[in-house]
Chains A and B, each alone.
Chain A
């Protein structure tokens, strides 16, 4: 049962930011594929709901070989999944989107809405962080940009301040000899992941690891980097034992919780396995 609220529908981004600044106890809806569920469950009941889904200014996918990829906040999951330019340059994003919920949800849910909802089990964040993405947020007074990994604060909590909304996600241009992989682990093909792991690997001319990022999903309050494992891999050459060691570190450097789908122990185990597998997969793809 959704509680009463007043519906606000701005005509432009500028108007949206002005309205958001004016209204206390206001929730932004941008597709609402998660928001309406928590509202139905009575977990939140804002006085105002500000709908920005239809704002065209934020509905874009732009790619430049130097600048990289820019995705506007109101871009839907389905648009990302179907984007040729993303498929060509960031295939891992398309793979991730293909397994995000169902077609119906991807058609209406947006990337901005997903990130702002900050569900620790969300799919896009770990992949985007592995790709070194930045996020731009803004209010009526201005904008700020930060690494996406700094955006998340706690379960369902972000750095967004009053009046601030997500505007854009930026992913740097793919480096030469780089690749990324993502896998979530779930009982149902279309369900939220029990845990997930994303890895991106960049190799140097000699095939040694120049850069690596490992990000875990649903392994704690926020998507988390496994920096200790990243350090272990940097400068090294392909070695499955190293991937296993990195996986072991991943299973240690996380704080998953038990729920009805899996215990903390099992989650740690699977995080380790997935991390090992994703590193191997990304590495092999980066080698070409």
Chain B
């Protein structure tokens, strides 16, 4: 077992983890945050996307120990109390999901995009989400949600 120090959603954890555990394993099984999903286990589908030190990563292909002394944000870390993050509000209002299994990853990728780019073009939105598969929506409502989220974050709506 290895000792892992990790900050998740603002909270510090000191955990004993198996060396081969992935960051996803630790988030879901040790910390108990199950909003982050495993869709493929090999970094194709993006359902496991979390934000680590400001970057979107596929937590299924990052070893937990690689996240030592780093800061991770998961879907559970976006809302503040009862107040939804503007991206969550936008996905809610635009109906940017169907089965919802890809939604946490989609929202995390969106957050990284919008944190760095307040007014992304359609092409930039597509590009930022190319590592997040959705099988239900044909992506249209997801794009609309991202655009609405950008407007909210710019304070326009």
When chains A and B are docked, how far (Å) is the Cα of A256 from the Cα of B109?
A: 36
- Residue of B57, B65, B127 near A104 (CB, 8 A) is B57
B interface residue count range (under 10 / 10 to 19 / 20 to 34 / 35 or more)? 20 to 34
Chain B residues positioned under 8 Å from A102 (CB to CB): 43, 46, 58, 130-132
A189 and B61 contact, Cβ closer than 8 Å, known pairs A37-B42, A104-B109, A107-B55: no
Cβ of B153 under 8 Å from chain A: no
Cβ of B100 under 8 Å from chain A: no
CB-based contact B58/A104 at 8 Å? yes
Nearest A-chain residue to B126, judged by Cβ: A189
Q: How many Å from the CB of B66 to the closest CB on chain A?
A: 6
Question: A83-126 toward B: CB 8 Å interface, digit per residue (1/0)?
Answer: 00000000000000010011111011000000000000000000
Cβ of A53 under 8 Å from chain B: yes
When chains A and B are docked, how far (Å) is the Cα of A105 from the Cα of B40?
A: 14
Chain A residues positioned under 8 Å from B58 (CB to CB): 33, 102, 104-105, 108
Q: How many Å from the CB of B114 to the closest CB on chain A?
A: 13
Nearest A-chain residue to B130, judged by Cβ: A190
A interface residue count range (under 10 / 10 to 19 / 20 to 34 / 35 or more)? 20 to 34
Interface set, chain B 24-43, CB cutoff 8 A to A: 41-43
When chains A and B are docked, how far (Å) is the Cα of A29 from the Cα of B128?
A: 26
Q: How many Å from the CB of B36 to the closest CB on chain A?
A: 13
B contact patch SS: mixed
Interface set, chain B 101-118, CB cutoff 8 A to A: 109, 112
Chain A residues positioned under 8 Å from B88 (CB to CB): none
Chain A residues positioned under 8 Å from B19 (CB to CB): 4-7, 49
Chain B residues positioned under 8 Å from A287 (CB to CB): none
Nearest B-chain residue to A48, judged by Cβ: B19
Chain B residues positioned under 8 Å from A37 (CB to CB): 42-43, 61
Chain A residues positioned under 8 Å from B55 (CB to CB): 78, 107-108
Chain A residues positioned under 8 Å from B62 (CB to CB): 32, 36, 108
Q: Which 9 A-B residue pairs are closest in the complex by CB-CB distance?
A: A102-B131, A7-B19, A107-B55, A2-B20, A104-B58, A190-B130, A37-B42, A36-B61, A104-B131
Instruction: Give me 8 A-to-B residue pairs in the complex whose CB atoms sit less than 8 angstroms apart, sorted by A's number.
Output: A4-B18, A5-B19, A9-B68, A36-B42, A102-B46, A102-B131, A102-B132, A108-B52
